Amino acid sequence: MKITNYGPSGLNPYMQEMQKTETIKKKAEKTNDQIEISSEALKLQQQTDPARQEKIAHIKDQIQNGTYKIDHQELAKSIYNYYVNKK
């Protein structure tokens, strides 16, 4: 009496799975992520209001010194108003 095997014989399914993951890893290693910023975007970054630049610099200094304080009530109100009044 002969009993036939189901599926391919002599192949280790776990080995096949490992080979698939190794192939995927090799493909992922070959690709490099890049970012390109257009010249127009660079111009927009440089065109800021001097008053805004001064305010940003002031806030950066406060953060570095550890003196920047957040008004949590105002923050919560503005977040709430943003989502409630956004229709």
Summarised one tens digit per residue, pLDDT across range 29-67 is 766 778 898 999 888 888 878 888 899 999 999 999 999
Q: pTM value?
A: 0.39
What does the pLDDT look like over 58-76, one tens digit per residue? 999 999 999 999 999 999 9
Domain boundaries, the chain: 40-84
Selected residue with higher pLDDT from 83 and 23: 83
pLDDT tier at 80 (50, 70, 90 boundaries)? very high
- Spatial contact of 62 and 68, defined as CB atoms under 8 Å apart: yes
- Best CA proximity match to 20, nearest among 12, 31, 30: 12
Q: Which residue has the tokens 């490099």?
A: 32
| Angle CA 37–43–47, to nearest 5 | 135
Query: What's the pLDDT score for residue 9?
Result: 60
Q: What is the DSSP track for 28-63?
A: HHH--------HHHHHHHH---HHHHHHHHHHHHHH
